[in-house]
Amino acid sequence: MSEEDPLKPLTMSLRKASERDMERQIFSSGSKAIDGLLGGGFRTGELVEVFGASGTGKTQLAIQSTISVAAAGFSCAYIDSEGQFRPERLASMCENRGVEPSKVLPRVYFIRVDGTQQQMEAISMIREQESLKRCRMVVVDTVTRNFTLEFGGSRLVASRQAALGAYLNRLARDSYRHDRAVLLLNRVASVGRNENSREVDIGGDTLRHFVQAAIWLQRRGEHVYASLADGRNAKVVETRISIRGLD
């Protein structure tokens, strides 16, 4: 097996693991409110999920997070399953944040994936690309779309969750080994009826096993409310959507 074989176990001393943990980097999300929820920002070696209804600012948050990483001199991989990524939005957000677009755009790499197999292969592609050797952030927008399309219907729920779990396991391993922060954007579904209905993230418990934090975004007008979805902290922070993204 090669060193990068996904089946090969990772082996290191506890001392080495502790040293590696101390060396992890933290990158700002570009939003003080979101950074506060995360204890400073996105940490390399960890996966964070951000979910919410359409228009709540998920993609805005992802784009401004890549700006933070690229402005620090590192590269980013933006894995797009939705077809929503717009370079011109990234350039505009740079300008409105006082960052020179010409320094950021060459460090953000777009990868379009139209199926679960392509989504899995993108992980290996990032490792193999010379231009992504210094990749410190991977964005997946959105993480569950291809899985729900290929494994649609209630009869395939178990297969869908198993495939999603295998993908997340590979992604988590790559994040830890190669010191990357991973931002997983996710859709929501409505459960319950009428006044008892509520939003839940697609993939639910399967995602929870792999992410270090899950942030739920809700929007009212220009204001966005963010909270951790795992019950550890009932705190809700408020930000707003502007030409700069999420402030």
Q: Give residue 109's identity as a one-letter amino acid code.
A: Y
Sequence-separated (6 or more) residues with CB below 8 Å from residue 224: 56, 57, 217, 218, 238, 239, 240, 241, 246
pLDDT at site 18: 78
Rounded to whole angstroms, how far apart are CA atoms 148 and 156? 9
pLDDT at site 64: 96
Full DSSP string of 205-225: HHHHTT-SEEEEEEEETTEEE
Q: Which fold has domain 25-246?
A: Rossmann fold (3.40.50)
Helix/strand/coil for 239: strand
pLDDT at site 1: 36
All structural domains of the chain with their residue ranges: 25-246
- The residue among 235, 190, 129 whose CA lies nearest residue 227 is 235
pLDDT at site 218: 95
pTM, full prediction:
0.92
Rounded to whole angstroms, how far apart are CA atoms 127 and 110? 14
| CA distances for 117 relative to 64, 113, 123, 167, angstroms | 28, 8, 10, 9
Helix/strand/coil for 84: coil
Asked if 210 contacts 217 with a C-beta cutoff of 8 angstroms, the reply is no
Q: What is the pLDDT of residues 116-171, one digit of tens each?
A: 999 999 999 999 999 898 999 999 999 999 999 999 988 999 999 999 999 999 99
Q: If pLDDT is split at 50, 70 and 90, which confidence band does 3 have?
A: very low
Report which of residues 34 and 7 the model is more confident about.
34
Q: Give residue 142's identity as a one-letter amino acid code.
A: T
Full DSSP string of 137-194: EEEEETSSHHHHHHT-SGGGHHHHHHHHHHHHHHHHHHHHHHT-EEEEEE-EEEES-G
Q: What is the pLDDT of residues 69-82, one digit of tens each?
A: 999 999 999 999 99
pLDDT at site 6: 56
Percent of the chain at pLDDT > 70 equals 94
Q: Considering the chain, what is the average pLDDT of its residues?
A: 91
